[in-house]
Amino acid sequence: MEAWHGDRLVRTFAERPLSLAHMLADAVARSPERPALIDGARRWNYKQLALDVQGMAQQFSSQGLQAGDRVLLFIRNRAEFLFAFFALQSLGAIAVPVGVREQRPGLQFILNQCQARGVVFDGDLWDRIPDDSECPQVQWRWSLDPIPAPQALHLSRQPGATHLSLVPSINLDPADVSVILYTSGTTGRPKGAMLTHRNISHSVLHYQVCMGLNETDCSALAVPASHVTGLIAMIATFVHIRGCLVIVPEFKAGSFLDLLEREKVTHTLLVPAMYNLCLLDPSFAARQLGAWRIGGYGGAPMPVSVIDGLAQKVPGLTLLNAYGATETTSPTTMMPAGETRTHADTVGVPLPCADVRIMDDEGHEVARGETGELWIGGPMVVPGYWDNPQATAESFTAGYWRSGDLGSMDEQGYVRLYDRKKDMLNRGGFKIYSVEVENCLMGIPGVLEAAIVGRPCPVLGERVHAFLYAPGHPADDHAVMSHAKANLADYKVPETLTWLDQPLPRNANGKVLKRVLRAQIPD
């Protein structure tokens, strides 16, 4: 047990890596020739990976980047994401990864909120990068590809000088912030969850221990590298265990199965819809997938039919449900191996260092089997939100993060999730907070009221359906879609609309009755 942040007593791993930079340095020292990274035809062992990280770090450093500076990463799944990410860690800078579906207004808010000094981006995303008038504090705009823009600096891939250390020369404190990941809240404005070095170390160890991972494992990175699962569960974890990571630029079932077969992938972490799409591929039964031994999943329930289908066609594959969040640096619970089928209605049990409490609205713990809100404590829980003390105070109590998820815990410790206190949709594992989308739609001239609900979808779980009230204005679906696409990440854009001829239904307290709206979704 250790005391953290003044108000937390947490169960910890006594032996743990100091930081992400130390994880990479350790991998290079112990296994320099082991396969580290595969991106299409390009391959790196750990020594080669370190040289590319050093080369990028040298470029950052020579232009004035310093420890503690925030740098936004707006990069697709590609090897250069790892180079930039670990280069920042080697300098003691703070990485701010953002999904490439984000649009210019969202990037502008994030860059200004964390006062980022730089942004690294894919060249073809240049038109979404805010300019000096929008983000005056941004000093560097580094493109990973040559582009005809004088304001952009080309960040080339060049092996670095061997004298540049992978470990920061600063006096690093494990409680320092390593990464900021932005997550939307009920206010509709993104909040920057501060992942510290020791938060990340504990999550990495949870994955290693509970999934039984070792240096012979090879994982396919098919979820976004910029999200907490891709960044922590896969990139950080596989560098720590000295395993091999295979980049998946875009998930398509057929090409993904090609990759699993060709590279003898042993480990995946996907949303259930992706496993289902693999099963539905006509070539699945003929595939040679004997190396595939661990299939982690989360973000949505896994249909029993998919569990049974995978067990029949890939008998050596162990499916493991996991539940977590950005604020918990990825995992909080995980399914014990071999229990997925018998406990398919649960998200497993709390991880070794996790502390999960089921609490009522008055802040009292409820009895086993009763429903309440999940409060989560432990060394993987972030200290709060960047430069947002109000949001931190609202979401954390005595070191516990109040998740907003309603669930229960049975006598054996298995956790079940029932609903979300936060008004959130889940589209194929991507979380969509209603308020953010509704605020965007309310910005359309003539729209007086807007509400979104989830339209059930057998593959993605939910799709976004919007209800709009705009008296005296034409029902212009195209204008709504164009406005939403210009201001929201694409998965948040409503796919179907209903125009109302009267205001939204509300209860006596003025709260929109979304259950009434769900019943009105056209077939």
Q: Is the pLDDT of residue 456 over 50?
A: yes
Residue-wise pLDDT for 89-127, tens only, equals 999 999 999 999 899 999 999 999 999 999 999 999 999
Q: What is the pLDDT of residue 170?
A: 82
Residue-wise pLDDT for 216-265, tens only, equals 999 999 999 999 999 999 999 999 999 999 999 999 999 999 999 999 99
Run of H or E including 218: strand 218-221
DSSP E strands in 46-202: the ranges are 70-74, 94-97, 118-121, 140-143, 153-154, 177-184, 190-196
CB of 166 within 8 A of CB of 28? Answer: yes
Q: What percent of the chain has pLDDT over 70?
A: 96
CB of 323 within 8 A of CB of 409? Answer: no
Run of H or E including 416: strand 415-420
SS3 of residue 107 by DSSP: helix
- Domains assigned to the chain: 20-172 (3.40.50.980), 424-519 (3.30.300.30)
Token pair 């404190």 is at which residue? 173
Angstrom distance (rounded) from CA 354 to CA 207: 13
Q: What percent of the chain has pLDDT over 90?
A: 80
Q: What is the pLDDT of residue 186?
A: 42
Angstrom distance (rounded) from CA 289 to CA 266: 9
CA dihedral 403, 404, 406, 409 (to 10 degrees): 20
Q: Which residues contact 452 (CB under 8 A, 6 or more apart)?
A: 425, 432, 434, 437, 438, 441, 464, 465, 466, 467, 494
Mean pLDDT along residues 305-311: 92
Q: What is the pLDDT of residue 219?
A: 98
CB of 233 within 8 A of CB of 324? Answer: no
Q: What is the pLDDT of residue 511?
A: 64
Least confident interval from 131-135, 144-148, 235-239, 427-431: 427-431
DSSP-based helix, strand, coil % in the chain, nearest 5? 30, 30, 40
Angstrom distance (rounded) from CA 148 to CA 501: 49
Confidence of residue 188 (pLDDT cuts 50, 70, 90): low
Which of 405, 432, 389 has the alpha carbon at shortest distance from 328?
405
What is the secondary structure of 271-337 as a DSSP string?
A: -HHHHHHHHHSTTGGG---TT--EEEE-SSPPPHHHHHHHHHH-TTPEEEEEEEEGGGTEEEEEPPT
Q: What is the pLDDT of residue 135?
A: 98
Q: What is the pLDDT of residue 162?
A: 60
Whether pTM > 0.75 for this model: the answer is: yes
Residue-wise pLDDT for 267-295, tens only, equals 999 988 899 889 989 999 999 999 999 99
Residue-wise pLDDT for 29-49, tens only, equals 999 999 999 999 999 999 999
268-295 burial, b at 16+ Cβ within 10 Å, e below that, comes to bbbbbbbbbbbbeeeebeebebebbbbb
> How many residues are there in the chain?
523
Q: Is the pLDDT of residue 180 over 50?
A: yes
SS3 of residue 255 by DSSP: helix
Residue-wise pLDDT for 140-165, tens only, equals 999 999 999 999 999 987 776 666 57
Average pLDDT of every residue of the chain: 93
Token pair 């432990």 is at which residue? 378
Enter the DSSP assignment of 229.
I
Residue-wise pLDDT for 460-502, tens only, equals 999 999 999 999 889 999 999 999 999 999 999 999 999 999 9
Which of 14, 439, 523 has the alpha carbon at shortest distance from 184?
439
